[in-house]
Amino acid sequence: MLNDKVAIVTGSTSGIGLGIAKELARLGADIMLNGFGDAGEIETIRKDMEREYSVRVGYDGADMSKGDAVRGLIETTIEKFGRLDILVNNAGIQFTAPIEEFPPAKWHAILDINLSAAFHGIAAALPQMKEQRWGRIVNIASAHGLVASTHKAAYVAAKHGLVGLTKVVGLETAGSGVTCNAVCPGWVRTPLVEKQISDIAAQRGISQQQATAELLAEKQPSLNFASPAQLGGTVAFLCSAAADQITGTAISVDGGWTAQ
C-alpha cells in the first residue's frame, strides 16, 4: 500500500514509535527512524527492519527539543530519500507533579518535545507535501489530549495543544491532497507506562501485577492495554485511500477511556 512512500516517525527507537515504524515499513514505506538510545541497539533495529521488510531505513538522532534540529530532520530525510510523504510526530516525554510543585524546566521540556516539535516538523514538511499534492501528517496525541488527569499539567496542556494544532493544519491543508490527524492512545505498555506502574507499586507497597490492574481499572474500561502494533495499524489506515477525507480529527484508541 505504501510502496515508494517515505515516512519519518519521531521517537521511533522504542515503544509506540517503533511499532508504527514497523507497520509502515511492512506496507512498503521507506523509513527514517529518530530517537535516543544505545547506538549499537539502534543500528541493529535499523538493519533488522531493512532485512525483514525490504525497504530503506535510515536513522537521524535529531533532538526533538530543538526546533532547528527538527526542521533539519525533515531536510535531511528529503535529501537522503528524495521525498517525504508521511510525518508521524510521536516523540514525547512525561513528568508528574502537582502544579505548584511542577519544575518550570520540566514544563518547558515537555512542551518543546510534545508540542513544539510537531509544529516545526509540520512547517518544514508541508511545502514538499503540497508540491507533490499528497501527504499524511499524523500526530500521536493521547487520551490526555481530550481529557485531563491530576499531576500532569504540562503533558495534558501539550497534548490538548497537539489536538488543536491538528485541527488548524487539517483546515489549512484541506483540498491540497495533504491530511492531518491525531491519534489518541490510552494506556499502552511502553517504557514510559512501565515506570508509572513501578511508581504506583512502590508508593502503595503492592506488586507490579496489582499496580497494573489498578492503573487500567482507573481509566481504561477494556482493562487491556492498546499495543504499539495496533497504533501502527491506525496510522496505516490514516495513510490509506480510505482515509482521504479524514482530516483535522482525533481518533481515540483507548479501550473506552474517553467514552466515560
On whether the CB atoms of residues 182 and 162 are closer than 8 A, the answer is: yes
- CA dist list (Å): 84 to 81, 122, 131, 238: 8, 11, 11, 16
Please report the pLDDT score of residue 109 as a whole number: 98
Active site (catalytic) residues: 155
For residue 195, what pLDDT is reported?
A: 86
At residue 206, φ and ψ (nearest 5 deg) are: -120, 170
What are the per-10-residue average pLDDT scores of the chain (260 residues)? 96 96 98 97 98 98 98 98 98 95 98 98 98 98 97 98 98 98 95 86 94 93 95 98 98 97
DSSP-based helix, strand, coil % in the chain, nearest 5 = 55, 15, 30
How do the domains of the chain map onto residue ranges? 6-186+226-259, 189-225
This prediction has a pTM of: 0.95
What is the structure's pLDDT at 190?
A: 84
Residue 151 DSSP class:
T
Cell of 259: 467514552
Q: Which CATH number fits domain 6-186+226-259: 1.20.1530.20, 3.40.50.300, 3.40.50.720, 3.40.1710.10?
A: 3.40.50.720
Residue of 213, 235, 232, 208 whose CA lies nearest to 223: 213
Cα gap 59→63, rounded to integer Å:
12
Would strands 250-253 and 135-140 be described as parallel, antiparallel, or unpaired?
unpaired
